[in-house]
Amino acid sequence: MSLLEAKSLETALERGKAQRLTFDHLSYTHLRDDVGQVPKGSVILDDGTVIPGYPSIARIQALDPGIGKQFEGPFWAEEKMDGFNVRIFQHEGQCYALSRGGFICPFATDRLNDLLKPAIFDDYPHLILCAEIVGPGNPYLEGHSPQVQEDVDLFVFDMMVCNEEGFLPQAERMALVEDYGLQPAEIFGRYQPEELNELAELILQLDEEGKEGLVLKPENQKQRAKYVTGRSNIYDISVTGEALLDLPPEYFTNRFLRMGLFMAEHGQQHDHDRLNELGHAMMQGLFRAVQESQKNGRVSNHYRCRFNHRDNADRFMEHIELTGGQRVKVHRGMPRQEGDYWVLEFERIHQRMTGKINQALQGGRQFD
Same domain? For 183 and 116 the reply is yes
Question: What's the predicted TM-score (pTM) here?
Answer: 0.93
Q: Is residue 90 part of a domain?
A: yes
298-348 pLDDT per residue, tens: 999 999 999 999 999 999 998 887 777 678 999 999 999 999 999 999 999
Same domain? For 221 and 254 the reply is no
User: Which pLDDT band holds residue 149 (cuts at 50, 70, 90)?
Assistant: confident
Same domain? For 153 and 209 the reply is yes
Q: Is residue 343 part of a domain?
A: yes
pLDDT at residue 6 tops 60? yes
Host domain of residue 183: 52-229
For residue 3, what pLDDT is reported? 72
For residue 320, what pLDDT is reported? 84
pLDDT at residue 1 tops 70? no
For residue 221, what pLDDT is reported? 66
Same domain? For 174 and 196 the reply is yes
pLDDT at residue 270 tops 80? yes
Strands 58-59, 225-228: pairing kind: parallel
| CA atoms 87, 41, 106, 44: torsion sign | positive
Give the closest residue to 317 by CA, choosing from 302, 309, 328: 328
Q: Counting every residue, how long is the chain? A: 368
9-41 pLDDT per residue, tens: 888 898 999 999 999 989 999 999 998 888 999
pLDDT > 90 in the chain, percent: 82
Instruction: Using alpha carbons only, give the angle 227, 67, 80 rounded to the nearest 5 degrees.
Output: 25
Q: Is residue 11 part of a domain?
A: no
Average confidence (pLDDT) over 103-131: 95
Average confidence (pLDDT) over 99-112: 95
Average pLDDT, the chain: 92
Domain boundary among 172, 196, 229: 229
Burial-class residue 73 by CB neighbours within 10 Å (0-12, 13-18, 19+). Answer: exposed
For residue 142, what pLDDT is reported? 86
Cβ proximity of 99 and 85 under 8 Å: yes
Same domain? For 141 and 215 the reply is yes
Same domain? For 218 and 118 the reply is yes
Give Rg (Cα) of the chain.
22
Same domain? For 210 and 61 the reply is yes
For residue 78, what pLDDT is reported? 97
Buried b (16+ CB within 10 A) or exposed e, 41-62: bbbbbeeebbbbbbeeeeebee
Same domain? For 219 and 75 the reply is yes
Q: Is residue 81 part of a domain?
A: yes
Same domain? For 87 and 179 the reply is yes
Domain boundary among 196, 229, 262: 229
Give the closest residue to 103 by CA, choosing from 16, 155, 40, 10: 40
Domain boundary among 174, 194, 229: 229
Give the separation between CA 301 and CA 345, rounded to whole angstroms.
11
For residue 209, what pLDDT is reported? 93
Q: Is residue 357 part of a domain?
A: no
Q: Is residue 133 part of a domain?
A: yes
Same domain? For 258 and 313 the reply is no
Q: Is residue 42 part of a domain?
A: no
Same domain? For 309 and 287 the reply is no
Structurally, the chain folds into a number of domains equal to 3
For residue 146, what pLDDT is reported? 83
pLDDT at residue 187 tops 80? yes
Same domain? For 255 and 324 the reply is no
Q: Is residue 326 part of a domain?
A: yes
